[in-house]
Structure 1
Amino acid sequence: MKTRSIAAAAVAILAVVAIILAIVGYYGIQRFKTPAPTKTATASSAPIDVQDGDIQAYYNQGITWGKCAQGTFDSYRGINSSDPNEYQCAFLKAPLDWDNPDGDQITLALAIHRSGAKDAPALFINPGGPGGPVVSALPYYSAQGLGESVVKAYDIVALDPRGVGDSTPVFCMTDEEKDEYNAGAETDGVDDSPQSAIAEAEEGSRDLADGCRDHSGSIFEHIDTVSAARDFDMVRAVIGQDKLNLLGYSYGTFLGATYAGLFPENVGRFVLDGALDPSLSIEDVSAMQMRGLDASLQQWIADCATQSTCPMGRTKDEGISNVRAFLESLDKAPLPTSDPDRPLTESLAITAMIGAMYNTQWWPQLSDAYADAVRRGDGSALLDIADLMNSRNPDGTYADNSADAINAINNLDYEPEGTTDQWIERVNGLKSELPILGRYVGYPSAGLSAWPTEHADRQPIHATGAAPILVIGTTHDPATPYPMAQRLAEQLDSGVLITVEGWNHTAYRRGADQCVVRAVEDYLVKGNVPQNGLTCQ
């Protein structure tokens, strides 16, 4: 796997960060103990005998819940996740290709946290990505992330989507290749013309697809969101649920909206927090995310500038100038870190910065790490943050396959848009518009054009006939900008928009603002639909 230039890699960097942030929740940036690498599921149900392409055979398969294997869950603050009366695991089969159910089969991994109530309904969670493992994060959501009233009312179900986590996984890079990929390439003196960046994006896409095929066979061709949504409906039926109840964050809203469009009659209580608009093109999504992240970086700098000790500068404009100069300096001279073999590169530094934008609680820690870099010449703290965002363990292994999965899934879910001239015009416009991230605007459609699979056709989703669907948008969400939530709520025939004032990515969690907590939990637990247009501080 070849290293990438900054411009060609920008979209991939932003995407990978989104996965991990959805999973680590609101602990704040810190170094965790080295977890065991996520293990490929070794137990599975027997193959399904499908006759004459009848997908009903998958819906009719049995499920056996049992004790979760050691290593299934990450370590979450001493939470006892080994009690089989509280946490259980299972495996199901699904067709590799739902349009060819007689063909190869894959394994889906799922876990459940029991509420203790008799005949409690199931609530599926998806924290985002795409590519974020869900099963291993179940103890966090059941013990700390979701409100106690929700956990008491529901059996909480975590299903690793196809290609992700302990379900049949996709792998496209070795750990060493991921290190090279995340570090990027020095670009000083390199041809940085648009034509060169486009060619590099295309070549990188082909190389990555070759890696997926070499490491994982054909599964990378069948892990699109439509196929994942069909898996969810099958699992819903197998565990005996008439309706699917879902709490989806970030990409989980994309998955939830896709499900609602396919199976509106099976929609139960849906909450889509940090909404992505599935009708948007890759060009629109990329531009909106870059704008949202740039605005958050500016706000971080402005907030810091009110303090006399701010390492960026005494004014917002001075801070922006200093941050830009610092990042550009790393292209020529990466900073040393505590690991002599891993200096802080420009790519790793920008990964740390944009990652910390997902929660304002992380801003002080980012400022301290930045101060270490510019005042002491030590990039260790920023490298630690980047490694957390990239799911890299201190021993050099990667905790999951999220980086592989997100690239493969996005390349299936989106199609290229526009001409080369239009790509260049868009990039030049964003470079002029964005004072911090303009340097990192890439060519997503160029990469998609070289990906050797079919691409989904993006269309509005109406989900006619579905039960009310709560769509939550935060006004300054850095990763899923607020207009996406507005658009999705308008598209869905039964969409109900909740607006939350703030700068964080997603809004609902235990201990959050009581306005949004009450709205979500009254709906999930009692079925009370909040007023469309509700605004929370």
Structure 2
Amino acid sequence: MDFRSLFRRAVPGTALVVLIAAAGCDSAGSDDAGSGGQGGGADAARAGSVSRVLEPLPEQIPADLRPYYEQQLRWTDCTDAPGFECATLRVPLDYASPGDREDVELAVARKPAENPAESLGSLHVNPGGPGASAIEFLQNFAGVGYPEEVRARYDIVAADPRGVGRSEPVECLTDAEFEKHTQVDATPDDEREVEALTAAFERFAEGCEKRAGKLLGHVSTAEAARDMDVLRAVLGDKKLTYVGASYGTMLGATYAGLFPHRAGRLVLDGAMDPSLTSRQLNLDQNAGFTTAFDAFAEDCVQRADCPLGTDSAEDAGKQLRAFLDRLDAEPVPTGEQRRLGEPLATMGVLMAMYQEDFWPQLRGALTDAMERKDGSGLLALADMYYEREPDGSYGSMMYGFAAVNCIDQPAPFDSPADVEKLVPDFEAASPVFGRDFAWAALNCADWPVAATGEANRIEAAGTPPILVVGTTRDPATPYVWAESLAAQLEEGVLLTYEGDGHTAYARGNACIDDAIDTFLLAGTPPQDGKRCK
């Protein structure tokens, strides 16, 4: 749970999964998961997982779906991206009743293979979110930044999932309304603030229901995976070749579980664990951001100008928490009408945890805010997180993020009282960010459509090897999730990057890139358990 998709201008290629609290809960609720202590570790992942297995769909395509599978795409040059081609794919709104004239139109784009004489077919890509635009990811990163041999031999293809980007996006609030939403106190200290936060979640949900209509009940990961199979067939590929990052790994794993007979070379980078209950997912990610912050703090305290002191990473965390608490009481100026309070400052810090390249910017932004009462630097990081443009407009990613998460799993918590009971567990895992992650889990409590999914183990029996990639200090998709997913998959192969940041492919590590490129080009996976530094 990158790139403008999420951070287009700064770090192309990594999708947002932060504050995933709404994303996972098994159908029995979250009370069966372990509630104590810090998430992480293989034992904790097993303790929080469910036993049910995602069952595959029949191999034969049903007669009422054949018109979708047999449609012809009309490709034209993308007007906003020279060298790319665009088309529109038609899929049923509801796979339980296809052909009733209620269809969804998905935006599709591709970068044709640069050496078509040696083409290996289509390589589908998705950067995650959920809610990030795969087309923007293709045009700004994968289609120009993937290794040359991969771009030479594959048509690189992206479809914005239903409800996302250019594919009839879910919208919930006006720009002005969403701007106010980002400034609501997300760590309430009293009943009045609790009421304000729950009211904000209710307004958000009501806005989604009003503006999205029937689509809001049909934006699940399972439906997006079925859409991906339609596109695979329309493109003429017998097997799906795919690189998914972050939440894109959930989409890819779901595809493998539903269509193991049509899975080809699948790369799941920055893996999520589809089997975990919401409580363990949230605790794990809470701990993941703490691991990433500790790495930043260890680096910071060795520098004379560190705004969080030079004593220890633990003390740096205390300094940051104290600063955020001060902002809760007294926001600082930013040079514009908005002031920097605790909610926006926290998002700015979390944004910087996604990539080590952001650390210098974060040090400077914290120095300005803490010493000069200038919150503009942290505000800029928060705006990047929220896809805010200079004119005050916002992208739709946050709406897609909530819509997919809230339909994929039942709400982790039903009331503020449920959250309060678990705040100590979240704070034990992360004294700095724990309360933020705990309260973020409440956003699906009053969602207007019932969840249609549940947590499942994904075994995908009968597939070729599936390459699962994990980064040891990944904040948003903790490494333990990659270990767990690779173990669940019947043919899972684990590739590890020992380092910082979210996801690993095409980020400059030759060991990782060579292993993935060899798999994509020759079908040969690395040795299970291979580690790169």
Alignment-derived partner of residue 124 in structure 2: 124
Alignment-derived partner of residue 160 in structure 2: 160
| Aligned 8 A contact 2:459 2:488 in 1 | yes
| 2:423 counterpart of 1:427 | yes
Aligned pair partner of 1:303 in 289, 299, 307: 299
Deviation for aligned residue 1:158: 1.1
Partner amino acid for 2:492?
Answer: G
Alignment-derived partner of residue 66 in structure 1: 76
Helix, strand or coil: the match of 1:470?
Answer: strand
| 2:377 counterpart of 1:381 | yes
Alignment-derived partner of residue 324 in structure 1: 321
Deviation for aligned residue 1:422: 6.3
Name the CA shift for 1:356/1:507 in 2 (closer, same or farther; >3 Å): same
- Mapping of 1:239-250 within 5 angstroms? 239-250=235-246
- Mapping of 1:193-342 within 5 angstroms? 197=194, 203-316=199-312, 317-339=314-336, 341-342=337-338
Deviation for aligned residue 1:144: 4.3
Alignment-derived partner of residue 452 in structure 1: 448
Helix, strand or coil: the match of 2:400?
Answer: helix
Helix, strand or coil: the match of 1:442?
Answer: helix
| Aligned 8 A contact 1:271 1:520 in 2 | yes
Deviation for aligned residue 1:272: 0.3
Write out per-residue CA displacement over residues 206-235 of structure 1, whole angstroms, 9 at most, x where no aligned residue: 432221121121211110100000000001
| Aligned 8 A contact 1:53 1:100 in 2 | no
Deviation for aligned residue 1:19: 8.1
Write out per-residue CA displacement over residues 402-432 of structure 1, whole angstroms, 9 at most, x where no aligned residue: 0111001100111235787765443222223
- Looking at structure 1, the residues matched to 187 and 434 of structure 2 have their Cα atoms a distance apart, in angstroms, of 16
- Looking at structure 1, the residues matched to 249 and 303 of structure 2 have their Cα atoms a distance apart, in angstroms, of 37
Q: Which runs of 5+ in 1 are unaligned?
A: 1-14, 30-51, 71-80
| Aligned 8 A contact 2:6 2:132 in 1 | no
Helix, strand or coil: the match of 1:272?
Answer: strand
Alignment-derived partner of residue 114 in structure 1: 112
Helix, strand or coil: the match of 2:191?
Answer: coil
Deviation for aligned residue 1:60: 1.0
| 2:377 counterpart of 1:392 | no
- Looking at structure 2, the residues matched to 136 and 107 of structure 1 have their Cα atoms a distance apart, in angstroms, of 17
Deviation for aligned residue 1:143: 4.9
Alignment-derived partner of residue 399 in structure 2: 404
Write out per-residue CA displacement over residues 288-342 of structure 1, whole angstroms, 9 at most, x where no aligned residue: 1111112221221221110111111011233222211111111111111121x11
Write out per-residue CA displacement over residues 417-457 of structure 1, whole angstroms, 9 at most, x where no aligned residue: 57877654432222234221133232466443422323212
| Aligned 8 A contact 2:74 2:87 in 1 | yes
Name the CA shift for 1:237/1:25 in 2 (closer, same or farther; >3 Å): farther
Partner amino acid for 1:164?
Answer: V
Name the CA shift for 1:501/1:320 in 2 (closer, same or farther; >3 Å): same
Alignment-derived partner of residue 74 in structure 1: none
Deviation for aligned residue 1:364: 0.9
| Aligned 8 A contact 1:184 1:345 in 2 | no
- Looking at structure 2, the residues matched to 355 and 56 of structure 1 have their Cα atoms a distance apart, in angstroms, of 43
Task: Give the number of aligned pairs.
Answer: 480
| Aligned 8 A contact 1:22 1:127 in 2 | no
| Aligned 8 A contact 2:7 2:384 in 1 | no
| Aligned 8 A contact 1:19 1:130 in 2 | no
Write out per-residue CA displacement over residues 481-529 of structure 1, whole angstroms, 9 at most, x where no aligned residue: 011000000111010001110121111115x221111110001011112
Alignment-derived partner of residue 414 in structure 1: 409
Helix, strand or coil: the match of 1:501?
Answer: strand
| Aligned 8 A contact 1:270 1:469 in 2 | yes
Alignment-derived partner of residue 19 in structure 2: none
Deviation for aligned residue 1:141: 2.5
| 2:53 counterpart of 1:57 | no
| 2:485 counterpart of 1:475 | no
- Looking at structure 2, the residues matched to 444 and 342 of structure 1 have their Cα atoms a distance apart, in angstroms, of 22
Helix, strand or coil: the match of 1:373?
Answer: helix
Name the CA shift for 1:368/1:417 in 2 (closer, same or farther; >3 Å): closer
Alignment-derived partner of residue 361 in structure 1: 357
- Looking at structure 1, the residues matched to 13 and 136 of structure 2 have their Cα atoms a distance apart, in angstroms, of 19
Helix, strand or coil: the match of 1:441?
Answer: helix
- Looking at structure 2, the residues matched to 201 and 377 of structure 1 have their Cα atoms a distance apart, in angstroms, of 26
TM-score of the pair, normalised by structure 2: 0.85
| Aligned 8 A contact 1:18 1:129 in 2 | no
Deviation for aligned residue 1:139: 2.4
RMSD: 2.4
Greater Cα offset, 498-507 or 205-214? 205-214
- Looking at structure 2, the residues matched to 374 and 394 of structure 1 have their Cα atoms a distance apart, in angstroms, of 24
Name the CA shift for 1:22/1:262 in 2 (closer, same or farther; >3 Å): farther
Helix, strand or coil: the match of 2:390?
Answer: coil
| Aligned 8 A contact 1:202 1:449 in 2 | no
Alignment-derived partner of residue 49 in structure 1: none
Aligned pair partner of 1:105 in 100, 103, 110: 103
Write out per-residue CA displacement over residues 453-485 of structure 1, whole angstroms, 9 at most, x where no aligned residue: 232121101111111100001111111001100
| 2:183 counterpart of 1:183 | yes
Name the CA shift for 1:98/1:322 in 2 (closer, same or farther; >3 Å): same
Greater Cα offset, 248-257 or 420-429? 420-429
Aligned pair partner of 2:495 in 498, 501, 508: 498
| Aligned 8 A contact 2:249 2:270 in 1 | yes
Deviation for aligned residue 1:69: 2.9
| Aligned 8 A contact 1:188 1:332 in 2 | no
- Looking at structure 1, the residues matched to 260 and 13 of structure 2 have their Cα atoms a distance apart, in angstroms, of 37
| Aligned 8 A contact 1:25 1:145 in 2 | no
- Looking at structure 2, the residues matched to 448 and 477 of structure 1 have their Cα atoms a distance apart, in angstroms, of 25
- Looking at structure 2, the residues matched to 305 and 270 of structure 1 have their Cα atoms a distance apart, in angstroms, of 40
- Looking at structure 2, the residues matched to 168 and 297 of structure 1 have their Cα atoms a distance apart, in angstroms, of 36
Helix, strand or coil: the match of 2:76?
Answer: coil
| Aligned 8 A contact 1:125 1:157 in 2 | yes
Identity across matched positions, percent = 38
Deviation for aligned residue 1:28: 11
| Aligned 8 A contact 2:3 2:9 in 1 | no
- Looking at structure 2, the residues matched to 285 and 309 of structure 1 have their Cα atoms a distance apart, in angstroms, of 36
- Looking at structure 2, the residues matched to 419 and 209 of structure 1 have their Cα atoms a distance apart, in angstroms, of 14
Helix, strand or coil: the match of 1:352?
Answer: helix
Name the CA shift for 1:481/1:440 in 2 (closer, same or farther; >3 Å): same
Write out per-residue CA displacement over residues 159-182 of structure 1, whole angstroms, 9 at most, x where no aligned residue: 100001111111011111111111
| 2:166 counterpart of 1:169 | no
| Aligned 8 A contact 2:422 2:438 in 1 | no
Partner amino acid for 1:136?
Answer: E
- Looking at structure 2, the residues matched to 247 and 189 of structure 1 have their Cα atoms a distance apart, in angstroms, of 43
| 2:518 counterpart of 1:508 | no
